[in-house]
Every structure is written in C-alpha cells, then in structure tokens.
Amino acid sequence: MEFTAEMIAGFLGGEVVGDPAAKVRTIAKIEEGKPGALAFLSNPKYEPYLYDTEATIVMVNRSFVPQRPVKATLVKVDDAYAAFAGLLDLYAAHKPRRSGISSQAFVSPSARVPEDAYIGEFAWIGENVSIGKNAQIYPQVYIGDNVRIGDDAILYPGVKIYEECVLGNHVTLHAGVVIGADGFGFAPQENGEFKKIPQIGNVVLEDWVEIGANTCVDRATMGSTVVRRGVKLDNLIQIAHNVQVGENCVFASQVGIAGSTKIGRQCMFGGQVGVAGHITVADGVKVASQSGIANTVKTPGDTLMGSPAYRASSYQRAFAVYKTLPEMRSKLAALEKEVARMKEALGEK
C-alpha cells in the first residue's frame, strides 16, 4: 500500500513539514532509510542519521527542531515512537490473512473450526478442539484434545498445545512455543529414585498474551497455570507448574519462574532473572537482568537488582564499595604492617 505524508499526518493528528504529497510504501529504520520508506526519530542519539537518511518521510516529536537542513519530509506528532507503533499496527492489519484448511493437515471430525480460520500443512487438530474466528494455525502445529482457542489467535510453525489447555482471544504464540507440557514434579523415594507426580491440570492464557519462540509454560499439577491478560513473554522463557503471572507483565529472554509462584500485575523482569518457587511478587516490581529473587517481594513498585535481589539503590551503593575492595585490601594490609611496626617500636608484642 502507498501513503502520502498528508494521509499519515491526518491519521495521527500531526503536521507536515515539507512535501505533503511525498509517498511511502514501506517502513525502515532511520539509519537504513531508502527512497519510498517511512522512518521515525525519537531517541536523540539517532539524530545524526536524520540529516543523511534516504527515507522519504520521517516522523519526529512535535517539539523537535532540526539543527541542519533535512531533505526528508517530516511529520511532527506528539510521540513519534508511539505513533510509529500505531502505523505498524495499521500496516500489519492490511497484510493479507490466510484462510482454509490444507489437505495435508489432520483435523479431527469432532473439532470445531470456523470457515475463516487457516490450518496449515501437517498441523494436527485433536478431538473436541474448539478454534475461534479468524485464527491462524501455521504448518506443523500440534493442538491436543479438548483445547480451546479464542478468536484471532496466531500459532506460528511448530507450536505445541497439550490437551485441555485454554487460549483466549488475540493470543500470539511464536515458533516452537510449548504450552501444557508436564510440570517438573518428582517425589524422592527411599531407594534414591524419583517417582513422577502426574500433572493433571492445564494452562490458561488470557486475551492478548504474546509468547516468544521456544518458551515453555508448564501445565499445573492440579488446577491451572495462568498467564493473565496482556502478558508479553520473550523467547526462551520457562514458566513452571501452577505459576500465576499477573496482567500486563513483561519478561525478557531466559527468565525462569519456579513452581507455584505468583507474580503481580505490571511487573517487568530483565533477561535471565530467576524466581524461586512458592513465593509472591507484588504488583509493579521491576527486576534487573540476571537477578535472583529468593523470597517474597511485598512492596509494590520496588526495583530490585542482584542475586539474591534487593533494592537497586542499596545494591548500587554496595556495588560501588565492592569495586574498591582490592584497593581497600591493600590499604588494610599496609595499615596492619604500620601497626605492627608501631607496636615493635613501643616494645609491645
């Protein structure tokens, strides 16, 4: 599709600086802009690219004042980053969606699949599965018996949904995601072996959940592992059995949440954060990358760092001291020698 600067400004409530008839048909980063591309500038460190970019139109914040002449047409908006994200939504919405069931897919006669859904090659749809309107099931997806999937869900190639799990509306699962595999439950025996504890629960993903490639959400031992509305999980994350993740949480890659832990609403975890089992994390908690949460976090809105994690302000002060430990050790050794010489001079042993 093709858009003019005037059309973009009208859609976003912005103003045009330059040619209102300038046309774009694709999107690009400002440093990789080409003729016919739309880019945006919101981070000041990327401003130097603005003066050399080949992009035809660049969205900027309304308050932005260029320091040199700009050959691209500018569209000024209140928030360039948010406006660009909105345009990406519009762009994605206009991409054609597939429909129909491939002759190379298996769909159980008892499954309920609407006419506008898409089922790709070598997908397997089990007994009594219910699939919502406009769902997109890509090739090699496995959907086990009695699974329920809401409207507008997208399951990319290789996704596996075990039996009895429930997916809400607008759920997106990227390649290799596994929903509902057994939780890691084994009971130690007197002879040193481990007896498997049957995992008879399921997983519930509420509306607007998006999960990155090769992430696993384990089924509950009993009851449900629950990922609430609006949660966004990155690639390579592990959510263990009976965990509950609150609304609109965001976890970066390689986060691991141990069993039966409850995470509050709107929490943000950096990459490789580890959370112990059977604890609770309050709403709005932010955790820095590679931190380890060993105990319940009671204070909403805390920012934590370290392993074990504690408040970032205290951690930063402690780390500032930690970096000087070699110098402090040298000074301490020198003081000990000086004290020893003084004692010797005074005739003390």
Residue 152 lies inside a defined structural domain of this protein: no
Would residue 179 count as lying in a domain? no
pLDDT band at 150 (very low <50, low <70, confident <90, very high): very high
298 inside domain: no
pLDDT tens-place string over residues 167-214: 999 999 999 999 999 999 999 999 999 999 999 999 999 999 999 999
Q: What mean pLDDT comes out for the span 146-172?
A: 98
Helix (H, G, I), strand (E, B) or coil at 7: helix
CA-atom Rg of the chain in angstroms: 28
What is the rounded distance in angstroms from the CA atom of residue 220 to the CA atom of residue 222? 5
Within-domain flag for 86: yes
Q: Please name every residue paired with 118 in a beta bridge, in sequence order, or none if there are none.
A: 100, 136
Residues 6 or more apart whose CB falls under 8 angstroms from that of 202 comprise 163, 164, 165, 166, 180, 219, 220, 224, 225
Residue 93 has pLDDT above 90, yes or no: no
What local confidence, expressed as pLDDT, does residue 321 receive? 81
The answer to the question of residue 43 being in a domain is yes
- Residue 344 is predicted with a pLDDT of 84
Say whether pLDDT at 349 is over 70: no
| Residue 84 covered by a domain | yes
Which residues partner with 76 through β-bridges? 15, 60
Q: Where are the alpha helices (DSSP H) in the chain?
A: 5-12, 47-50, 80-93, 312-323, 325-345
Domain boundary among 63, 93, 123: 93
CA 287 vs CA 56, 247, 267, 290, 334: distances in Å: 40, 17, 8, 9, 40
Domain that holds residue 19: 3-93
Is 240 a member of any domain? Answer: no
Report the pLDDT value the prediction gives residue 345, as an integer from 0 to 100: 85
pLDDT on residue 91:
72
pLDDT at 7 (0 to 100): 92
Torsion of CA 238, 241, 242, 244, to 10 degrees: 10
pLDDT of residue 161: 98
Largest Cα separation within the chain, whole Å, is: 99
Q: How far apart are CA 111 and CA 94, in angstroms?
A: 29
> For the chain, what percent of residues have pLDDT higher than 90?
83
Q: How far apart are CA 125 and CA 130, in angstroms?
A: 9
Degrees, nearest 5: CA angle 295-297-300: 175
Q: Which of 93, 122, 142 is the last residue of a domain?
A: 93
Cβ atoms of 84 and 101 within 8 Å: the answer is no
Q: Name the average pLDDT for the chain.
A: 94
The two beta strands, 160-161 and 178-179, are parallel
Of 33-42, 69-78, 110-119, 336-345, the one with minimum mean pLDDT is 336-345
pLDDT tens string 303-348: 999 888 878 777 777 878 878 888 989 999 999 998 988 888 887 6
Domain CATH code at residue 43: 3.40.1390.10
Sequence-distant (≥ 6) Cβ neighbours of residue 156 within 8 angstroms = 138, 141, 172, 173, 174, 175, 177, 213
Q: Is the pLDDT of residue 244 over 80?
A: yes
Written as six digits, the tokens of 298 are: 């009671």
Chain centroid to CA 311: how far? 23
Alpha carbon distance 71, 57 (integer Å): 9
User: 112 pLDDT band (50/70/90 cuts)?
Assistant: very high
What's the rounded Cα separation, in Å, for the pair 142 and 155?
10
Q: Is the pLDDT of residue 70 over 80?
A: yes
pLDDT band at 29 (very low <50, low <70, confident <90, very high): very high
CA pair distance 217, 128, nearest whole angstrom = 22
What 3-state DSSP class applies to 122? coil
Instruction: Cite the active site residues.
Output: 241
CA 176 to chain centre: 15
Q: What is the pLDDT of residue 86?
A: 84
The confidence score (pLDDT) of residue 315 equals: 75
In angstroms, what CA-CA distances link 297 with 60, 177, 277, 290, 291?
Answer: 40, 29, 13, 17, 13
Cβ-contact 5, 73 below 8 angstroms: yes
Domain boundary among 30, 65, 93: 93
Nearest Cα residue to 131 out of 147, 142, 144: 147
Domain count, the chain: 2
pTM here is 0.83
Would residue 61 count as lying in a domain? yes
